[in-house]
């Protein structure tokens, strides 16, 4: 079992991902989805958490970055654990600037000229990830990659990242997870084909 399959198995085992093709969820964006992902649940399970931290650390080490950045709020714990494991500085990026004090968009010491990787727990449309990356770049740092535990890997999101000149990488993705769910009899063949077709056909509002 490779890393992507192992992470997918963890997501299903810890119920961080719910598959409900017969009764789709409605996301905040209005997208109707047979899948709902809540990776925040993973911070409470030690063994699963450690596996994911180790997988992140291995992938981040290959990039040879100077600083670990996390997105508020879901990316912060993962960024902190990775930074501690790799003994690197850490910052985090607010979804919106503070409305008081120094009105920071970035907490910690932004380091102009340094390279970073931006840690997310989930990439769906990619819009919030890109917005956070732009804030880091505005502070004079270079984002080598955006990394997440899981991505839906929508074709439209791939195009948006490419248009922005940003790389992204996830430990696991929707197609792998759907096939792991099928192999573990959580989806039958009809449901598998249904969810795979859904991923290909999603159009962002």
Please state which CATH number belongs to domain 3-199.
Answer: 3.40.50.2020
50: Cβ contacts below 8 Å, ≥ 6 apart: none
Residue extents of the structural domains in the chain: 3-199
111 in Cβ contact with 142 (< 8 Å): no
Question: Which tens digit of pLDDT belongs to each residue from 59-93?
Answer: 999 999 999 999 999 999 999 999 999 999 999 99
Mean predicted confidence (pLDDT) in 183-199 = 95
Kind plus residue range of the DSSP H or E element containing 137: helix 127-138
DSSP type of residue 187 = S
Q: CA-to-CA distance for 155 and 175, rounded, in angstroms?
A: 12
User: What is the overall mean pLDDT for the chain?
Assistant: 94
- In this predicted structure, which of 6-20, 90-104, 168-182 has the lowest mean pLDDT? 90-104
Cα 203 versus chain centre, distance: 19
Kindly give, in sequence order, each residue whose CB lies less than 8 Å from that of residue 87, ignoring residues fewer than 6 positions away: none
pLDDT of residue 35: 93
Q: Is pLDDT above 90 for 103? A: no
Per-residue model confidence (pLDDT) at position 99: 47
Residue 163, number of CB atoms within 10 A of its CB: 9
Residues 71 and 77: their CA atoms lie apart, in Å, by: 9
What confidence score (pLDDT) does residue 100 get? Answer: 46
Q: Would you state the pLDDT for residue 97?
A: 57
Q: What is the CA radius of gyration of the chain?
A: 17
**Model confidence pLDDT, tens digit, residues 13-48:** 999 999 999 999 999 889 999 999 999 999 999 999
Taking phi over 0 as left and psi of -120 to 50 as alpha, with beta for the rest, 64 belongs to: left
What pTM does this model have? 0.94
- Which CB contacts under 8 angstroms, 24+ apart, belong to 97-102? none
Q: Does position 193 have pLDDT exceeding 90, yes or no?
A: yes
């Amino acid at each position: 079992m490779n890393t992507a399959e192992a992470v997918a198995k963890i997501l299903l085992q810890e119920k961080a991902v719910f598959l409900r093709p017969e009764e789709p969820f409605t996301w905040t964006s209005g997208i109707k989805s047979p899948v709902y992902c809540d990776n925040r649940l993973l911070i409470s399970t030690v063994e699963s958490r450690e596996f994911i931290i180790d997988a992140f650390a291995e992938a981040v080490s290959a990039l040879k970055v100077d600083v670990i950045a996390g997105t508020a709020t879901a990316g912060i714990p993962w960024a902190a654990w990775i930074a501690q494991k790799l003994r690197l500085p850490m910052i985090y990026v607010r979804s919106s600037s503070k409305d008081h004090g120094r009105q920071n968009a970035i907490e910690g010491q932004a380091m102009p000229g340094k390279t970073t990787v931006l840690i997310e727990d989930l990439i769906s449309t990619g819009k919030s990830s890109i917005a956070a990356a732009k804030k880091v770049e505005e502070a004079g740092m270079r984002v080598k990659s955006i990394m997440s535990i899981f991505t839906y890997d929508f074709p439209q999101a791939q195009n948006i990242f490419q248009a922005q000149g940003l790389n992204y990488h996830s430990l696991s993705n929707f197609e792998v997870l759907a096939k792991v769910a099928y192999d573990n009899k959580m989806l039958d063949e009809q449901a598998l084909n249904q969810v795979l077709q859904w991923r290909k056909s999603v159009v962002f509002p």
